[in-house]
A = this chain, B = another copy of it.
Amino acid sequence: MDEAARRHNEKMKRIKAARDRMMQDKTEEKGLIIVHTGAGKGKSSSGFGMIMRCIAHRMPCAVVQFIKGTWQTGERQLLEEKFADECRFFVSGEGFTWETQDRDRDIAAARHGWELAKAQIRDPAIRFVLLDEINIALRYDYLDIEEVVDVLLTEKPPMTHVCLTGRNAKQELIEAADLVTEMSLIKHPFRDGIKAQQGVEF
């Protein structure tokens, strides 16, 4: 073994030992409150990636889409066509809120979505609930943040994961969450005149 390989080997042994020590205390399982926020891409698609993992592991799951209701997304189509037994799919919103220009209708749609969401969260058969773009509804106060946090903290079964997505997550939600990721925009092709594309954005 040459010197570089030997050094690499020793460094990797140290990393492995440190990791093994660290992972020793990671023994608990718990249903998580997961938040994906920030202006970058990947908040919803990562949520749908987790839905895919749940389907693979035969963990019954549910999606409530709060905003993206008007156009047919790939994720919705695939879940409704192929995985209707594994994943319940609900749509409450009628498109981004600036498309409808009707606050009362937006509020009614958000509240309807939240009623659906609560039923899924409370259902002990469901192991993972994705509340896609709920942060938009919370940001405009279409939903009461205190009620949402209260249901997550007091009514969610201990082993159920709930993932809430959308930019501008409220501070109260971040405080209540177990796992929070901010997706930040480093570079975006919209700036170069590229439109939203199949497979990437929807």
A residues near B (Cβ < 8 Å) are 4-5, 8-9, 12-13, 15-16, 19, 22-23, 25-30, 32, 34-36, 38, 40-50, 52-57, 59, 61, 73-75, 77-78, 81-82, 97-104, 127-128, 161, 174, 177-190, 192-200, 202
Contact = CB atoms under 8 A, between A and B. Distances in A.
A200 B34 contact: yes
Nearest to A47: B49
A199 B5 contact: no
Contact of A28 (B73, B180, B194): B194
Given A32-B197, A57-B199, A187-B174, A78 B52 contact: yes
Contacts of A36: 42
* Copies of this chain, tallied across the complex: 2
A187 B180 contact: yes
Contact of A184 (B78, B184, B188): B184
Contacts of A40: 181-183
A29 B101 contact: no
A12 B187 contact: no
Contact of A49 (B4, B32, B52): B52
B182 A26 contact: no
Contact of A48 (B44, B49, B77, B98): B49
B103 A8 contact: yes
Nearest to A195: B26
A97 B103 CA distance: 53
